[in-house]
């Protein structure tokens, strides 16, 4: 860890528009492996800020450092080849196959054929487009979403530590966008690139960003984690921009883990039914979660179940679908609770072991802060 990308009082004045600072003394630091979403109203300078990083737009004053190096000291071509670049309209080269598109920078860097081929296949695998099927196709033979994924793959071709993405999912319908966002976050969890991600959609900014950088008229209004931006908006502009449903947005952002109630009332399914009855009377719990010897969820019992004949818990337990993994969002959790009219939700870890429960009361407490 450490700072990977920093803006130091960067200012941009376009020639011919001398009275406007398209970017006005912008400063922020981005840690290695973080996604920073640049967001703000149209014309606020998001694209300008981003394109100064690879010098597509020359800055007027200030400094940009990548991994401590002033980008002005680097050769433009070398600088750009070290930064992944993905734009809204993708810009795949129509005259080249998917494989050639991805291979273009590795080729220019003089990689040998074998290494290039291997890299292209790995990348296609990462973006979930099987190489055998896609490598020899042309861009026009792909759907918009698939082209976008190729755009991302091409941007990552030489495994650059820093990537710039200008509204990469802007041209994609909402359902596929959500899907691509999730997929991209999964990829990012593995690859840990430092990414500047431009979007005009605050929901996307909050979802994708480790840091959100909100701009207005070229000025930084707030630079903070999404959670912080939602709970502590710097001023009315931020409050308005993130919207009146700030609280609900936080539900989307927070995982169930943050509101989990530990020490759930569990009973081993090999226990005697009577034991379960005793536990319920003693603890006053209306439900007991039943687990196997590994602690994995198998079902639940309530007072109705206790009336059934059966020697062991296993014989009297009921099936349940009232569970979610702890990595789900609070929004999903709440939605599950409401739609099935549950008293609580059972929370599981990766291996389906019961680790706690989720109550609406706890969610309220979290949101109140």
Partner 1 sequence: MTSNFLTTFFRKFVPALVAIVIVLWLYKYYGALEYTLKNLAEFFRLIYEHLILVIISMAAAIAVGITLGVIMTRKALEGISPVIMAVVNVWQSVPSLGVIALAYGILPLLGMSGIGIVPALIALFMHAVAPIVRNTYAGVESVSSDVIESATGMGMTQKQILFDIEIPNAMPVIMGGVRTSTAIIVGTAPLAFLIGGGGLGFWIFTGIALVDMGIMLAGAVPVALLAMFVDYLLAMLEKVVVSKGIQADQYA
Q: Which residues bind to Mg ion, rule: CB under 5 A?
A: 47
- Binding partner 1 (rule: CB under 8 A), the pick from 99, 139, 145, 264 is 139
Cβ atoms of residues 196 and 165 within 8 Å: yes
- Binding partner 1 (rule: CB under 8 A), the pick from 20, 56, 126, 367 is 56
DSSP state of 329: B
333 vs 331: CA distance, rounded Å: 5
154 binds, among ligand ATP, partner 1, Mg ion, none (CB under 5 to 8 A by kind): partner 1
Q: 113-126 vs 98-108: helix axis angle to the nearest 10?
A: 130
Residue 43 in the binding site for ligand ATP (CB under 6 A): yes
44 binds, among partner 1, ligand ATP, Mg ion, none (CB under 5 to 8 A by kind): ligand ATP
Residue 250 in the binding site for ligand ATP (CB under 6 A): no
Q: Which residues pair with 28 in a beta bridge?
A: 7
Nearer residue to partner 1 within complex by CB, 154 or 216: 154
Cβ atoms of residues 237 and 229 within 8 Å: no
Burial class from Cβ neighbours inside 10 Å (0-12, 13-18, 19+) for residue 307 reads exposed
Measured CA to CA in angstroms, residue 223 lies from 3, 208, 219 at distances of 15, 14, 11
Q: Total residues at the site for ligand ATP (CB under 6 A)?
A: 12
Cα 273-278-280 angle, rounded to 5 deg: 95
DSSP state of 256: G
Residue 44 in the binding site for ligand ATP (CB under 6 A): yes
Site string for ligand ATP, 183-222 (x = CB under 6 A): -----------------x----------------------
Residue 57 in the binding site for partner 1 (CB under 8 A): no
Q: Which residue in this structure is represented by tokens 């999964």?
A: 186
Cα 107-103-138 angle, rounded to 5 deg: 135
- Binding ligand ATP (rule: CB under 6 A), the pick from 47, 54, 273, 328 is 47
Q: Total residues at the site for partner 1 (CB under 8 A)?
A: 34
Residue 237 in the binding site for partner 1 (CB under 8 A): no
Q: Who's near 133: CB < 8 A, 6+ residues apart?
A: none
42 binds, among partner 1, ligand ATP, Mg ion, none (CB under 5 to 8 A by kind): ligand ATP
Q: Which of residues 148-167 bind partner 1 (CB under 8 A)?
A: 151, 154-155, 164
Interface with ligand ATP (CB under 6 A): 14, 16-17, 22, 42-48, 200
């Amino acid at each position: 860890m450490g700072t990977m990308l920093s803006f130091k009082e960067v200012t941009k004045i376009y020639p011919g528009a001398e009275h406007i600072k398209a970017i006005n003394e912008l400063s922020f630091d981005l840690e290695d492996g973080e996604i920073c979403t640049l967001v703000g109203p149209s014309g606020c300078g998001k694209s300008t800020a981003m394109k100064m990083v690879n010098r597509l737009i020359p800055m007027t004053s200030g400094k940009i450092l990548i991994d401590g190096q002033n980008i002005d000291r680097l050769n433009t071509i070398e600088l750009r080849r070290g930064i992944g670049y993905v734009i809204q309209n993708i810009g795949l080269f129509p005259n080249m196959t998917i494989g050639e598109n991805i291979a273009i920078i590795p080729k220019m860097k003089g990689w040998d054929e074998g290494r290039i081929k291997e890299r292209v296949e790995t990348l296609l695998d990462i973006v979930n487009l099987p190489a055998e099927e896609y490598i020899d196709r042309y861009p026009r033979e792909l759907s918009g979403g698939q082209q976008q994924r190729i755009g991302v793959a091409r941007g990552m071709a030489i495994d650059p530590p820093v990537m710039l993405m200008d509204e990469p999912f802007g041209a994609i319908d909402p359902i596929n966008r959500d899907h691509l966002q999730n997929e991209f976050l999964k990829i990012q969890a593995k690859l840990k690139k430092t990414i500047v991600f431009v979007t005009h959609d605050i929901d996307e900014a909050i979802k994708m960003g480790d840091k959100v950088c909100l701009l207005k008229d070229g000025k930084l209004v707030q630079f903070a984690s999404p959670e912080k931006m939602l709970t502590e908006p710097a001023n009315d502009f931020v409050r308005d921009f993130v919207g009146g449903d700030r609280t609900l947005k936080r539900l989307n952002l927070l995982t169930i883990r943050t509101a989990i109630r530990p020490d759930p009332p569990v009973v081993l399914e090999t226990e005697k039914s009577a034991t379960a009855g005793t536990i319920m009377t003693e603890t006053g719990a209306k439900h007991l979660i039943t687990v196997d010897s590994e602690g994995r969820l198998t079902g639940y019992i309530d007072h109705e179940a206790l009336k059934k004949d059966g020697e062991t818990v296993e014989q009297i337990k009921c099936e349940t679908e009232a569970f979610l993994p702890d990595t789900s969002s609070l929004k999903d959790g709440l939605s599950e609770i409401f739609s099935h009219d549950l008293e609580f939700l059972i929370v599981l870890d990766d291996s389906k072991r019961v680790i706690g429960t989720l109550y609406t009361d706890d969610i309220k407490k979290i949101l109140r802060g």
